[in-house]
Amino acid sequence: MDVKRNRARSPLADLDLARAARHKLFCLSAVIILAAVVALLIAGSRRTAAAPPLPANTVEVPKFVVDPSWPHIPNGWTLGQVSSAASDADGNIWIFHRARTVKPGVKTGPPVMEFDPAGNYIQGWGGQSGEGYTWPSTEHGITVDYKGNVWISGNGNDDQILKFTKDGKFIMQIGHAAQKKSNADTTSLWRPADVYVYPKTNEIFVADGYGNKRVIVFDADTGAYKRMWGAFGNTPMDDPPRPPALTGEAAKAAAAEEEATRTLATGFDPKDPGPSQFVPPVHGVKVSNDGLVYVADRGGKRVQVFTTEGKYITQVWIDRWCLVAGAGCNNGNTAASVAFSADQAQRFLYVASRSPARIWVFDRKTLQALDSFGRPGIAPGEFDVLHHMTTDNKGNLYSSEVEDGRRVQKFAFKGLVSMPVPAMKAN
């Protein structure tokens, strides 16, 4: 017969089970409390490790250190005047130089050159006209758009901008030689200085330029005209015909009168907004991530800010004191190029000031001048006719120099440093 295994439990056994359950509950509670304490400690340590707030009356500014070894020019080549530089999505840097400006018998490379971030040469092309396009007589501006296409402009007797693939295959030309040069022409340009493609609208913005005095916008795929504007959003106007040049005593008298009536470098009225038109050359243009167009009005010594539709927002003077008169400041031109810091908010605006030979650092939102660096010269970190500049995806800054400068310089970004709130102004 089967023996029944189920037996009644004793009261002592029930007591042991209760004690075990209480012990397990106690242990679980302890683990939960310990985990909470650890989480609080970690959170506290993170708060402690976070950057403390800046002391009052201090600001952060980017720190740059020049890299005199960049780039590595191959094949014994010598650069001509380096008119521009651009960066692409891979962090490679594209140099645009005037190969025809090297001295006879000196070896040089193609006008478009691509270098990796370390400064090693990758490839180069350009310099000759081809089927469907005319190469510019004087190389000037370059940009690489978000699709990887390379755009160039020229400021000789040039009426066009050109679009290529990265390996130099021609895609499109906007603008053709025109008999009448005019700001009213929506199909051709006049010595365009700079180009920039804005990804959100797939439009190319042109600083046009040395002959015209406007920003003009085209569709980056079709080349169709979209819109244009001048300083303060005004309609760009052609200059009236020049009167015959004076000679002899009449010329001396006119020069004396001009000197007697001109505004001194120390006498500018800060409330005076300046000329109602851009003063050629309209030399640089870039569009920020938040859709603001920054225009370097080199002849006008200012940077003006617009919406992408051309609505004027504000401006900042760049070394307004810099005048030709009185032999004070080279050719008197300043705002040659703009660039942005590499953070998503593009916190800082950089402005190349041509004749004073320095780069200004601004708070991009407020246009408060924070710092500047550079001086005239040919040593690393100095500038001999500062022209265009760009930043890469790491925040490094690259400047180009024309005339006798003939180089591109890399300024390596070394992070942010704190400094007292500057009392300086860029004007």
| Residue 175, pLDDT above cutoff 70 | yes
Q: What is the mean pLDDT of residues 185-200?
A: 96
Q: What is the mean pLDDT of residues 16-24?
A: 53
Of 264, 270, 281, the residue nearest 329 (C-alpha)? 264
- The count of other CB atoms within 10 Å of the CB of residue 270 is 9
Q: What is the mean pLDDT of residues 15-24?
A: 52
Q: What is the mean pLDDT of residues 247-271?
A: 82
Q: What is the mean pLDDT of residues 395-423?
A: 95
| Residue 15, pLDDT above cutoff 50 | no
Q: Which residues does residue 214 pair with via DSSP β-bridges, in sequence order?
A: 208
Q: What is the mean pLDDT of residues 171-200?
A: 93
Percent of the chain scored above 90 by pLDDT?
Answer: 72
Of 203, 372, 427, the residue nearest 293 (C-alpha)? 203
**Cα-based distances in Å from 169 to 115, 144, 388:** 18, 14, 25
| Residue 349, pLDDT above cutoff 60 | yes
Q: What is the mean pLDDT of residues 355-370?
A: 97
- The count of other CB atoms within 10 Å of the CB of residue 423 is 6
For tokens 């569009």, the residue is 287
Of 126, 134, 149, the residue nearest 221 (C-alpha)? 149
d(CA 84, CA 354): 13
Percent of the chain scored above 70 by pLDDT?
Answer: 86
61-70, 150-159, 241-250, 267-276: which is most confident: 61-70
d(CA 222, CA 405): 37
Q: What is the pLDDT of residues 89-115, one digit of tens each?
A: 999 999 999 999 999 999 999 999 999
| Residue 281, pLDDT above cutoff 60 | yes
Q: How far is CA 186 from the centre of its chain?
A: 26
Among 45-59, 122-136, 156-170, 359-373, the least confident range: 45-59
| Residue 155, pLDDT above cutoff 70 | yes
Q: What is the mean pLDDT of residues 175-201?
A: 92
- The count of other CB atoms within 10 Å of the CB of residue 41 is 10
Tell whether domain 58-240+252-420 is in CATH 2.120.10.80. no
Mean pLDDT over the full length of the chain: 89
Q: Return all residues near 191 (Cβ < 8 A) that are at least 6 apart.
A: 154, 155, 156, 157, 158, 159, 208, 209, 210, 211, 212, 281
d(CA 63, CA 348): 12
**pLDDT band, residue 325 (cuts 50/70/90):** low
Of 86, 121, 81, the residue nearest 100 (C-alpha)? 81
The domains of the chain are located at 58-240+252-420
